[in-house]
Amino acid sequence: MFNRQEVMKRAWRIYRDWYRFGVERGRFHICFGAALKAAWAEMKRSLTIKLKPTVQKLARIEAIKDQIENLKWKSFRYDIGTMEQNLRAELSELEAAL
C-alpha cells in the first residue's frame, strides 16, 4: 500500500529543506521526527485523493475554490497566506488526480 522507501526519501527531503530554512533563520533545533510525520501525512493524503470518486473530487474542488475566494474577507488575525497556499496545494493535487 505505502512504499516505505519513498516515504523515507520524502522525509529526508523535507528535513533538509526545513533544516536549510532553519539555519538561514537562525533556528537549529529541527526534529527529523516532524519531517517523517509530515511525509507520512503527505503520502496518506495523496492516497486518499487517488481513492476518492470523481464526484467527490469535483465537489471538493468547488469547495476549495469558494474557500480561496472567501479568504479575502477574513480578518487580519488569520494568516491567509498559509491558508491559501495549503488550499492551492490541495487543489492542484485534486486537479492532477482527475
Q: Smallest Cα–Cα separation from 8: which of 53, 38, 46?
A: 38
Residues 59 and 43 in one domain: no
Global confidence as pTM: 0.53
Domain count, the chain: 2
74 lies in the same domain as 97: yes
In the chain, the DSSP E strands lie at none
Residues 41 and 65 in one domain: no
Check whether residue 60 and residue 88 sit in a common domain: yes
Q: Which domain covers residue 12, as residue numbers?
A: 1-48
Q: Looking at residue 23, what is its pLDDT?
A: 56
User: What is the CB-side half-sphere exposure of residue 61 using CA atoms within 13 A?
Assistant: 15
What is the Cα–Cα distance from 68 to 90, expressed in whole angstroms?
A: 11
Both 25 and 65 in a single domain?
no
> Is there a single domain that holds both residue 39 and residue 76?
no
In terms of domains, do 43 and 57 share one? Answer: no
25-84 pLDDT tens trace:
556 566 788 889 999 999 998 888 777 788 888 999 999 999 999 999 988 888 898 899
